[in-house]
Structure 1
């Protein structure tokens, strides 16, 4: 049994650890971090890989890239081909384009975690709160998603859909209404709230999720990490070292969030233990809660968890890497709906056709009951024929295509999320030799805007993937928002499901979405992850 009330941080309460001087890290640890920080990324030794030329007066490629990423990549491709070196974001990178993208993702020779750790020291950040699994990176969170969350997604989906609908109506009810239009000044905050509440319900259960503190923790945990590392990732080995030392100090907000999660969860878990023991004593089968918290407690030995705090720490890590990104994608979807208003009509038409088919199936089932003399149960009540069930959302292939296309077009050409580090000397199929320690970044433009997308690849075509075996969860070189290969994001199934539910509800309730400031449309459609969009949205209530 887990030590539910064991003191955190090896017997020391979290509040007490905030008073510890960061020098407690120790000389040995500091020396190790210093050596790690000195491991600066470098170009491959193969001199055949060309360097992209710099504009006169530029000392790096940052300015040209930031001015027009696609134009910069196109110039480099024409000048250098599918492989070229750049100085970007303070680091040297080798850009890998199609047709060699798959070799990076499917080979065990290249590590994403190594380079991401150099940029953010995220593992050092997470390891300040978890007591177990400190040396396996994100393997345990990935295993939790693959082995527990994804298999139970069919069970969670109806609950999530109900929560999203209830909270959407609640949040929109607080916004000003004028002539059948609802003005939402900060759509991201609204969507962020919906996603946080839904994920809280799944991860920690309704008893814990009802706490406002928990919702706020789920909403702010990722943003706080962004504030800790700053607007830009570390650009020197010394800033990286300082960042890791800072994680050990009382400036680490993750410890505050962990304390909230532990405080709210503890009485709920103790009550569950009491009810389970009572059921065992009376010979009654205890109905186990279905949330991830309970399943992690039940599988504590399998994952090596130390106590309740350790379980909460791993849940918090999952929240940091999922809630904000899902909300950002859903927010982006709304702006694409605003930029391409004709899409709403087609999505609504598809939805109504699916609901009509479901209504006909339900009517057939009612008639069969009457023929057999059986009563028509509440499940077949005609009053619910036009409710939006999860089954309808799954059948909305145009909505799925819309979501995939918005991901495809919005993808940043050279995103830090796609960088990799060579773990050993290796050779690509074109003969280029890659030395250990060289850093790569994937040219998503070459895949997303390549021939496979069609001649109009640079355009947003919402129905591009209708009738094709390319759903919003299917990864590949031409669709990289979730990576690909064995390390593709396992959380994409839940993320896409949430996006579909939100999109379907928006189409149900509103006939049109408009930008409050149309001049910001281009900025909205090509915003990077986490960038604020300086325009609200107007939602036209469907009559």
Structure 2
């Protein structure tokens, strides 16, 4: 492999060295160090694992892979089997394919977070803004507990608030439109998701604070820039990136300061109200948001002060908003790429809302008949208030089987073909006898799973929006669906993420009858767009005519 690589550092490498190499270190020595670290293959020491040759003239496999990921991986699988070495994203990985993929997720000695830290430095980046839990394992545990305690169990109660906030953004920014051009749909989606998450994280009052909403949005964008497309092939480059983003130009502290300023008066007011309730001997009506949960369990999570709490809030924002915005934007692009799905999704909503309204009316009639309530007026302001019959609730979204299938298929079809990096924390022997050496990284060949005809019930290379109707939900991980990982290490925030995806998609198809690409030639590129990257084309939105628009109150 080495004879295919040039040993001459590029002008960009020399430029970078002049910037960061200490005075007294010769440029030739520094160049040698950089080239040496880049050429270090870093693969598992098991020489029975085949290494894919790099195409003549290329430096890594990235160029050939990006030309046609499916063709490249299929050729490698056929020639080298389910396990092979590749230099992807400028770094050495052992690619794991097919049935062996399951072993990555069921073996605790494969670590996703350690691989993420080694590749991007993202954990060091986020831990730079918290005071407690400096150990990454402890921090991960606390984050999972926070999500479990304050999010996953509260989805039914949070859904109406998410719907209300997202609806408000659409009404304000879009209104009724006839083929209105949105040049960057990702920014619209980011505003919707960020506003909803401010409500979930910090309450309705702060969701009205533009500075807080912008902080939620732009700290996510900044994070996307940090973990974005930069290649970090060498130890030197990774060190340089850490120095740049964590210590020199870390954008996160300014976002933490915004939350501290905004949250402090809210916290003081809540403490005052709680003290008054205790003094009067009445229950304190606790706000239902993550901020309140963190304050209530301050000692449980070992927080140090409000700065620490707000630091953790920013970390949670990054995990909650970044990938969700990506997926929601991508899903909207799919509505434009496959216009035939829009009306079936809309009609399903109408049917479900009709059915739920009938069920609620029957429940009201039963209560009136039994004497539990004396008149229809008694339902006003209660759970069974007729004005809420056509609201988008968790119950309504749960019944949208076609919508759920569409989202699951988008995520299956769109997911990058090589993803879900893990690091071996000790020597690990795979079921085929090959060994992944301690400290070496693997990457999952998602193509081998998501495009397996047996796992996908046939036609795996086609986009079939109703593929999963009557089957697993979009938030359910399985051996054939890796969008949220698998096993005990599946994404803990997947339930909230899917609820947001369903909400965005439901609002889109209920309000707009048509989505069109500004530049149809950029369709494929748009379907792969990521937050922090340039969105290749805008979208035209056309509102539904009033007589056909849904009547639900949101």
Which TM-score applies when normalising by structure 1? 0.88
SS in 2 for 1:57: coil
- Residue in 1 that maps onto 2:221: 223
Residues 244-259 of structure 1 aligned to structure 2 (within 5 Å): 244-247=242-245, 249-259=247-257
Number of positions where the alignment pairs a residue of Structure 1 with one of Structure 2: 501
- Residue in 1 that maps onto 2:411: 407
RMSD value, Cα = 2.2
What is the alpha-carbon distance in structure 2 between the residues aligned to residue 458 and residue 508 of structure 1? Answer: 29
On the 8 A contact 2:425/2:439 being kept in 1, the answer is: yes
Pairwise CA distance, 1:187: 1.1
- Residue in 1 that maps onto 2:395: 391
What is the alpha-carbon distance in structure 2 between the residues aligned to residue 230 and residue 371 of structure 1? Answer: 61
On the 8 A contact 1:126/1:317 being kept in 2, the answer is: yes
Say whether 1:459 aligns with 2:457: no
SS in 2 for 1:300: coil
Greater shift after overlay, 381-390 or 56-65?
A: 381-390
Pairwise CA distance, 1:81: 1.2
1:273/1:473 CA distance change after superposition, 3 Å: same
Say whether 1:64 aligns with 2:64: yes
Pairwise CA distance, 1:41: 7.6
Say whether 1:100 aligns with 2:100: yes
Pairwise CA distance, 1:209: 2.8
What is the alpha-carbon distance in structure 2 between the residues aligned to residue 212 and residue 233 of structure 1? Answer: 34
What is the alpha-carbon distance in structure 1 between the residues aligned to residue 240 and residue 222 of structure 2? Answer: 17
On the 8 A contact 1:82/1:97 being kept in 2, the answer is: yes
Say whether 1:44 aligns with 2:48: no
- Residue in 1 that maps onto 2:310: 312
1:531/1:450 CA distance change after superposition, 3 Å: farther
What is the alpha-carbon distance in structure 2 between the residues aligned to residue 228 and residue 339 of structure 1? Answer: 30
- Residue in 2 that maps onto 1:112: 112
- Residue in 1 that maps onto 2:13: none
Residues 429-444 of structure 1 aligned to structure 2 (within 5 Å): 429-444=431-446
Pairwise CA distance, 1:73: 0.7
- Residue in 1 that maps onto 2:320: 322
Greater shift after overlay, 153-162 or 52-61?
A: 52-61
Which consecutive aligned stretches of 4+ in structure 1 deviate over 6 angstroms post-superposition?
38-41
Unpaired runs of at least 5, structure 2: 1-19, 21-36, 546-554
1:128/1:155 CA distance change after superposition, 3 Å: same
Pairwise CA distance, 1:435: 1.6
1:369/1:298 CA distance change after superposition, 3 Å: closer
Greater shift after overlay, 520-529 or 180-189?
A: 520-529
1:41/1:123 CA distance change after superposition, 3 Å: farther
What is the alpha-carbon distance in structure 2 between the residues aligned to residue 528 and residue 185 of structure 1? Answer: 15
Say whether 1:504 aligns with 2:506: yes
What is the alpha-carbon distance in structure 1 between the residues aligned to residue 370 and residue 115 of structure 2? Answer: 66
What is the alpha-carbon distance in structure 2 between the residues aligned to residue 371 and residue 277 of structure 1? Answer: 43
- Residue in 2 that maps onto 1:165: 167
1:357/1:103 CA distance change after superposition, 3 Å: same
- Residue in 1 that maps onto 2:12: none
- Residue in 2 that maps onto 1:286: 284
What is the alpha-carbon distance in structure 1 between the residues aligned to residue 537 and residue 418 of structure 2? Answer: 26
What is the alpha-carbon distance in structure 1 between the residues aligned to residue 457 and residue 364 of structure 2? Answer: 47
1:235/1:256 CA distance change after superposition, 3 Å: same
Pairwise CA distance, 1:372: 4.9
Residues 38-437 of structure 1 aligned to structure 2 (within 5 Å): 42-135=42-135, 136=137, 137-173=139-175, 177=177, 180-228=178-226, 231-247=229-245, 249-369=247-367, 371-372=369-370, 374-376=374-376, 377-378=379-380, 380=384, 384-415=388-419, 418-437=420-439
On the 8 A contact 2:322/2:531 being kept in 1, the answer is: no
SS in 2 for 1:138: helix
What is the alpha-carbon distance in structure 2 between the residues aligned to residue 74 and residue 527 of structure 1? Answer: 23
Pairwise CA distance, 1:528: 4.5
What is the alpha-carbon distance in structure 1 between the residues aligned to residue 385 and residue 104 of structure 2? Answer: 54
What is the alpha-carbon distance in structure 2 between the residues aligned to residue 381 and residue 294 of structure 1? Answer: 28
On the 8 A contact 2:325/2:531 being kept in 1, the answer is: no
SS in 2 for 1:453: coil
What is the alpha-carbon distance in structure 1 between the residues aligned to residue 91 and residue 76 of structure 2? Answer: 17
1:534/1:106 CA distance change after superposition, 3 Å: same
Pairwise CA distance, 1:434: 2.1
What is the alpha-carbon distance in structure 2 between the residues aligned to residue 282 and residue 95 of structure 1? Answer: 64
What is the alpha-carbon distance in structure 2 between the residues aligned to residue 230 and residue 500 of structure 1? Answer: 26
What is the alpha-carbon distance in structure 2 between the residues aligned to residue 381 and residue 260 of structure 1? Answer: 38
What is the alpha-carbon distance in structure 1 between the residues aligned to residue 87 and residue 251 of structure 2? Answer: 32
On the 8 A contact 1:70/1:445 being kept in 2, the answer is: yes
On the 8 A contact 1:161/1:390 being kept in 2, the answer is: no
1:383/1:438 CA distance change after superposition, 3 Å: closer
What is the alpha-carbon distance in structure 1 between the residues aligned to residue 41 and residue 173 of structure 2? Answer: 46
Pairwise CA distance, 1:356: 2.0
What is the alpha-carbon distance in structure 2 between the residues aligned to residue 422 and residue 41 of structure 1? Answer: 16
- Residue in 1 that maps onto 2:24: none
- Residue in 2 that maps onto 1:29: none
What is the alpha-carbon distance in structure 2 between the residues aligned to residue 239 and residue 486 of structure 1? Answer: 33
Pairwise CA distance, 1:403: 0.2
